[in-house]
């Protein structure tokens, strides 16, 4: 397959592209090369590259600043996705789009299936839900892949942040009252590859396996323990958590674990255990407690 990947400089795309390249031709386009908010450019690029499928990794992903920049968040995550969907529909190719656990409000307290109703608590979640809706209004053939707590290449993710803070401070406050299912971008990439090769269109959840979920606090303890760093991870609630910006952080769902059972049934994708994925990630970076 010829696959066009948008937002190609982002964390997920950087791991996804080599995985796709194992058996496909890949055309990566960064924001500089194709800004998805520019409709004409999107249509022109998709027509001239003539891919068999587009995978949209482009997104506005800063959950906290989205509260103040709601126009920008909707421009990219809503209208930008609409532009990509319109272009794909015009040339009659499917779109695979990446979305988020933050479309849910967290009140279910059990893993969310793709059939549960979305009800985002923050602007980022609302804007991502807008993108999902445009795809469903415009297209017949699409994959929407919701995921959670991504970590992968680069330093801008929870695992790398905890490692850095634990080395610098030896005591790090982490919240206990948000439960999620952290996911390695490498595993998500494998899941996306399997999905787009299946032809089983629809909405799917792909995360690593954390059972009924893990709090960021327990996850941080797991990270420092596996990395062999001596640091105190101190429990905090979201309320008391110190804000790093001028304004309080955006509201987040207290429980946003995604149920991946339908993905297993449809495309035989079985998520890797969170601990195993984390161990592999750390050892790829030469970090271990052994």
Ligand X SMILES: NC(=O)c1ccc[n+]([C@@H]2O[C@H](COP(=O)([O-])OP(=O)(O)OC[C@H]3O[C@@H](n4cnc5c(N)ncnc54)[C@H](OP(=O)(O)O)[C@@H]3O)[C@@H](O)[C@H]2O)c1
Is residue 127 at the binding interface for ligand X, with CB under 6 A as the rule?
Answer: no
Tell me how far, at minimum, the Cβ of 253 lies from ligand X, in Å: 12
Is residue 114 at the binding interface for ligand X, with CB under 6 A as the rule?
Answer: no
| Shortest-Cβ-distance residue relative to ligand X | 10
Is residue 129 at the binding interface for ligand X, with CB under 6 A as the rule?
Answer: no
Could you tell me if 122 and 252 are in contact, meaning their C-beta atoms sit under 8 angstroms apart?
yes
Could you tell me if 2 and 24 are in contact, meaning their C-beta atoms sit under 8 angstroms apart?
yes
- Interior/surface letters 76-106, b for 16+ CB within 10 angstroms, e for the rest: bbbbbbbbbbbbbbeeebbbbbbbbbbbbbb
* 147/102 Cα distance (integer angstroms): 9
| Single residue of 61, 187, 260, 263 touching ligand X by CB under 6 A | 61
Q: What angle do CA 16, 19, 25 make, to 5 degrees?
A: 95
| Single residue of 3, 4, 5, 7 touching ligand X by CB under 6 A | 7
Number of chain residues interacting with ligand X (CB under 6 A): 24
Q: Which is nearer to ligand X, 155 or 170 (CB)?
A: 155
Annotated active-site residue in 124, 143, 204, 255 = 124
Question: 269 catalytic, yes or no?
Answer: no
Is residue 150 at the binding interface for ligand X, with CB under 6 A as the rule?
Answer: yes
Tell me how far, at minimum, the Cβ of 11 lies from ligand X, in Å: 4
Site for ligand X in 15-44 (CB under 6 A): 31, 35-37
Q: Kindly indicate which of the ranges 9-17, 132-140, 226-234, 262-270 contains the residues binding ligand X, using the contact rule CB under 6 A.
A: 9-17
Could you tell me if 243 and 175 are in contact, meaning their C-beta atoms sit under 8 angstroms apart?
no
Site for ligand X in 265-284 (CB under 6 A): none
- Tokens of residue 153, six digits: 């290449």
* 253/242 Cα distance (integer angstroms): 18
Q: Which is nearer to ligand X, 161 or 290 (CB)?
A: 161
CB contact set of 276 (below 8 Å; sequence gap of 6+): none
- Interior/surface letters 239-271, b for 16+ CB within 10 angstroms, e for the rest: eebeeeeeeebbbbbbbbbbbbebbeebbebeb
Tell me how far, at minimum, the Cβ of 102 lies from ligand X, in Å: 7
| Single residue of 5, 19, 60, 191 touching ligand X by CB under 6 A | 60
CA 117, chain centre distance (Å): 19
Q: Which is nearer to ligand X, 132 or 221 (CB)?
A: 132
Is residue 58 at the binding interface for ligand X, with CB under 6 A as the rule?
Answer: yes
The H or E element that residue 86 is part of is: helix 81-90
Q: Which is nearer to ligand X, 100 or 178 (CB)?
A: 100
Is residue 57 at the binding interface for ligand X, with CB under 6 A as the rule?
Answer: yes
Site for ligand X in 158-187 (CB under 6 A): none
CB contact set of 212 (below 8 Å; sequence gap of 6+): 110, 111, 179, 257
3-state secondary structure of 252: coil
Residue numbers annotated as active site: 124
**Interface positions with ligand X (CB under 6 A):** 6-7, 9-12, 31, 35-37, 57-61, 76, 80, 98, 100, 128, 147-150
């Amino acid at each position: 397959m010829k696959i066009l990947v948008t937002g190609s400089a982002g964390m997920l795309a950087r791991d996804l592209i080599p995985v796709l390249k194992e058996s496909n031709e890949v055309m990566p386009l960064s924001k500089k090369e194709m800004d998805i908010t520019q409709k004409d450019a999107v249509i022109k690029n998709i027509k001239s590259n003539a891919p068999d499928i587009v995978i949209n990794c482009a997104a506005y992903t800063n959950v906290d600043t989205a509260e103040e920049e709601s126009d920008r968040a909707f421009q990219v995550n809503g209208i930008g996705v609409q532009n990509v969907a319109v272009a794909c529909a015009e040339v009659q190719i499917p779109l695979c789009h990446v979305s988020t656990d933050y479309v849910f409000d967290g009140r279910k307290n059990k893993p969310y299936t793709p059939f549960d109703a979305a009800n985002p608590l923050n602007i980022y979640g609302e804007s991502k839900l807008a993108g999902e809706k445009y795809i469903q209004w415009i297209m017949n053939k699409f994959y929407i892949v919701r995921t959670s707590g991504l970590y992968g290449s680069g330093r801008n993710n929870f695992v790398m942040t905890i490692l850095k803070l634990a080395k610098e401070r030896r005591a790090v406050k982490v919240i206990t009252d948000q439960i999620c299912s952290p996911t390695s971008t490498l595993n998500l990439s494998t899941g996306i590859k399997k999905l787009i090769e299946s032809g089983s269109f629809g909405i799917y959840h792909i995360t690593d396996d954390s059972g009924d979920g893990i709090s960021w606090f327990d996850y941080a303890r797991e990270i420092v323990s596996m990395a062999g760093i001596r640091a105190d991870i101190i429990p905090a609630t979201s309320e008391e958590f110190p804000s790093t910006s001028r304004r309080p952080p955006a509201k987040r769902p207290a429980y946003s674990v995604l149920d991946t059972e339908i993905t297993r049934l449809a495309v035989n994708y079985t998520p890797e255990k969170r601990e195993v994925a984390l161990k592999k990630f750390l050892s790829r970076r030469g970090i271990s407690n052994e």
